[in-house]
Structure 1
Amino acid sequence: MDTHTRTSDAHSATLGLGSVLLASLPAALMTEAAPDRYTVEAVFTRRPEKDEVAEILGTRTRDDLGSAGFPTVELAVADRRLVIANTNLEELRDGLAAVIADRLAAISTKIHEKQDAAAIRFEEAAMREHTRTAAVTALAESITFQRAGSAARARPDATAAAASNEDEQIAGWSSEGGHGRYARP
């Protein structure tokens, strides 16, 4: 049985971030009117899966950011973009980007391990079902609908004595006035 599991480039690639979306940055950057903290959008290297998005938005990610020294940073996902709120480019350059990249890699690894384990469980279940179906088929095919007197002839383990006894019965019936066509040659 050939079982196919879902494999794709998305599954094989670790989720990461490619670049900052320049259009998302405040126009006043590097001027006296520039805000201290703002939202930065970064483009994912691929579309995140549903489970990955849930992990990005989860408490573990917030806890990791806080323990790394970025307690005010908030993450959101918008299509193929990671929205990083309450930060700035300097903070990202000086360590936040690495913390986010590490967390995304950990999330990808965790999700891929779960998916791989589920694929193995599915394949094992399919193999068990295939084995069960083959056993049921073999059992059903072992059933023969023959009259009790002729079953010994059909079975390979029947003894010659049983066959001889059957021949005697047939000979006895043919002498009782039955038609000759029923006699064994």
Structure 2
Amino acid sequence: MSINVSSHEPARDNSPESMLRLTSVVAVSRELYAVDPPARYTVSAAFSRRVLPAETTLIQGPATHERLSKQGYGHISLVINEARLDIVNTSLEELKAGLASLVGSLIREISEQTRHEREQRDEAALSKRRADAARKQEIETLAHDISFD
């Protein structure tokens, strides 16, 4: 269970071409408000737009966890929860001390990587359609030029 800490939602750009980024902390674990709060808990941050399936796979994947581990954050898990990123097993202090910057960079890199991969797939599909259309035209021209007289 979490408690919202942001009083407003930032403007969202829902176009998949826009850079995915985290905009703000929007919720913290309810446990943080206890008399004896835990040292680590879940902090939720808002995404700037809807997360694409390919981005979800990469954000929650082993390569991202490996990069976090190499930076000394192997205890952290990133979980997409609708329009939020749950940063599990952290603290506000840890985020402020550098984890937030690292996670933000990872999210932007993943966004750029998936955008680049999508553009490559689009270019390949366009090239294939053009080649198919040219071949079709070539076949139609050859067929049209055949005379049985």
Same fold (TM over 0.5): yes
Corresponding residue number in structure 2 for 1:165: none
* DSSP-derived class of the 2:30 partner: coil
Sequence identity of aligned pairs in percent? 28
What 5-or-longer segments of structure 2 have no aligned partner?
A: 1-12
The aligned runs of 1:59-98 (5 Å cut-off) are 59-98=62-101
Q: Give me the CA root mean square deviation.
A: 1.8
Structure number with the higher helix fraction is: 1
Q: Is the 8 A contact 1:26 1:38 kept in 2?
A: no
Which of 17, 28, 33 does residue 22 from structure 2 map onto?
17
CA distance in 2, matches of 1:117, 1:9: 21
What is the CA-CA distance between 1:91 and the residue it aligns to? 0.7
- Which ranges in structure 1 are unaligned for 5 or more consecutive residues? 1-7, 147-185
* Distance across 2 between alignment mates of 1:12 and 1:94: 31
Instruction: Kindly indicate which of the two structures has a greater share of residues assigned to strand.
Output: 2
Runs of 4+ deviating beyond 4 Å: none
Of structures 1 and 2, the larger Rg is shown by 1
Report the count of equivalent residues: 137
* Counterpart position of 1:139: 142
Alpha-carbon displacement from aligned partner over 1:132-166 (angstroms, at most 9, x marks no partner): 011111111112232xxxxxxxxxxxxxxxxxxxx
1:106 to 2:109 alignment: yes
Q: Which amino acid aligns with 2:146?
A: I
Give distance in 1, aligned partners of 2:79 and 2:53: 13
Letter in 2 for 1:66: S
Q: Which has the higher contact order (CA 8 A, sep 6+)?
A: 2
Deviations 1:86-111 (A, max 9, x none): 10111111101111011111111111
The residue number in structure 2 matching 1:172 is none
CA contact (8 A) 1:26 1:34 kept: no
